[in-house]
Amino acid sequence: MDQPMMTAIAVEGGRGGPEALKAVSLARPTPREGEILIRVAAAGVNRPDLLQRMGGYPPPPGSPDTLGLEVAGEVVQGAGRWRAGDQVCALLGGGGYAEYATVDARHALPVPAGLSLIEAAGLPETIFTVWANVFEHGALKAGETLLVHGATSGIGVTAIQMAKAAGARVIATARGAAKAARARELGADIAIDATAEDFGERVKAEGGADVVLDMVGGDYFGRELDALRTGGRIVFIASLGGAEVALPIFRLMQKRAVVTGSTLRPRAPDEKARLATAVESTVWPWIIDGRFRPVIDRTFPLEQAGEAHAALEAGDHVGKIVLTCGQVTG
């Protein structure tokens, strides 16, 4: 019996620019024990996808070679708590840029009431990342201050809203007055245009930060450490401004600071399942009661994945960019 086929996005030649993303016909994946099969309605586009397209972020063992770390859609073949017809969003190791995807049943979550599948597709990657780094590694608590860079990125928008929902104060940086204004609209208590003023001096003037979510690295680190309150935590999730930093050890000791960081994709399945449980119990109620709302900048059909990558690289978006398959409504 012939295996059913599907449309998916592959990187022509194994690596390249946005134009290397091509629609191809692949065999529809077959779920392994403990996995579900999802008919994909929408897939989030994330910066790790750009790295993988350029050959710098290989999928973990056992994951598809194709791109895509988060999807939303309808369960076709269930497992665990899921049955055919359920609407879910899920965190994947890869393979989301396709009409069908398989995933460990424990890494799927119900689509929150009131959200469309397009909105839900933009939740897992950023929410899991912010939860693991800001709330677990960074140990952000109500009443503390979070400093987050890239305020209008998918991560930035998510971090602002989650921190506010948890009762924290948020200082956000953005490049340009318009993006800083948008950050304030999203809930940031203070939004700094990093092209017009030194964010480090401004953060110090505002009383400092307890937790810093840093996706920049480079020369940002020294200013962050200087503006950090005693006992503060700096958490790295990327290094868009430089992968090497100068660490003044005596200053670190004076601040009793913690510098840490993590990646999400290579984590063990059990660890991702643990994160999913924590996210569903704490963050999903914030979404349902309106304290958090996904922000979708724009959508592209699956076949236009290259255009979606170019848009993400341009950096003019606010929130998430999402690919749509158009198979499931809602």
Q: What is the pLDDT of residues 220-237, one digit of tens each?
A: 999 999 999 999 999 999
Query: Would the pLDDT of 326 be above 90?
Result: no
CATH code 3.40.50.720 region(s) in the chain:
127-261
pTM of this structure: 0.95
What is the third-level CATH fold of 5-123+265-324? Quinone Oxidoreductase; Chain A, domain 1 (3.90.180)
Structure tokens given for 162: 């989650």
Q: What is the pLDDT of residue 13?
A: 93
Which residues neighbour 137 within 8 Å (Cβ) at sequence distance 6 or greater? 233, 235, 260, 261, 262
| Contact present, 113 and 313 (Cβ < 8 Å) | no
* DSSP three-state, residue 170: strand
E strands present in 55-99: 70-77, 87-91
| Contact present, 87 and 330 (Cβ < 8 Å) | yes
- What average pLDDT does range 83-90 have in this prediction? 98
| Cα–Cα distance for residue pair 44/33, rounded to 1 Å | 25
Q: Which one is predicted more confidently, 95 or 326? A: 95
Q: What is the pLDDT of residue 16?
A: 97
- What average pLDDT does range 239-251 have in this prediction? 91
Phi–psi pair at 255, nearest 5 degrees: -80, -10
| pLDDT > 70: percent of the chain | 98
Q: What is the pLDDT of residue 327?
A: 53
Q: What is the pLDDT of residue 330?
A: 44
Q: Which one is predicted more confidently, 145 or 57? A: 145
Under CATH, which architecture does the 127-261 domain have?
Answer: 3-Layer(aba) Sandwich (3.40)
| Cα–Cα distance for residue pair 71/95, rounded to 1 Å | 9
Helix or strand (DSSP H, E) at 154: helix 154-165
pLDDT band of 62, cuts 50, 70, 90: confident
Structure tokens given for 280: 């569903």
Query: Would the pLDDT of 73 be above 80?
Result: yes
Query: Would the pLDDT of 1 be above 80?
Result: no
- What average pLDDT does range 127-146 have in this prediction? 98
Query: Would the pLDDT of 59 be above 80?
Result: yes
**pLDDT tens across 269-321, in order?**
999 999 999 999 999 999 999 999 999 999 999 999 999 999 999 999 999 99
| Contact present, 236 and 214 (Cβ < 8 Å) | yes
Query: Would the pLDDT of 266 be above 90?
Result: yes
**pLDDT tens across 164-202, in order?**
999 999 999 999 999 999 999 999 999 999 999 999 999
Q: State the SS3 of 231-244.
A: EEEEEECCCCCECC
| Cα–Cα distance for residue pair 70/89, rounded to 1 Å | 7
Structure tokens given for 121: 């597709």
Phi–psi pair at 4, nearest 5 degrees: -60, 145
Query: CA 221 → CA 190, 227, 239, 240, distances in Å?
Result: 20, 10, 10, 12
pLDDT band of 240, cuts 50, 70, 90: confident
* DSSP three-state, residue 225: helix
23 forms beta bridges with 9
Determine which of 36-40, 54-58, 74-78, 123-127 has the lowest per-residue pLDDT on average.
54-58
- What average pLDDT does range 246-275 have in this prediction? 95
| Cα–Cα distance for residue pair 80/4, rounded to 1 Å | 24
CATH code 3.90.180.10 region(s) in the chain:
5-123+265-324
Amino acid symbol at 279:
V
Quote the Cα angle for 152-156-160, to 5°: 110
Query: Would the pLDDT of 328 be above 50?
Result: no
Which residues neighbour 99 within 8 Å (Cβ) at sequence distance 6 or greater? 6, 7, 8, 28, 39, 40, 302, 325, 327
Query: Would the pLDDT of 122 be above 70?
Result: yes
| Contact present, 189 and 170 (Cβ < 8 Å) | yes
Q: Is the dihedral of CA 103, 107, 111, 117 positive or negative?
A: negative
Query: Would the pLDDT of 52 be above 70?
Result: yes
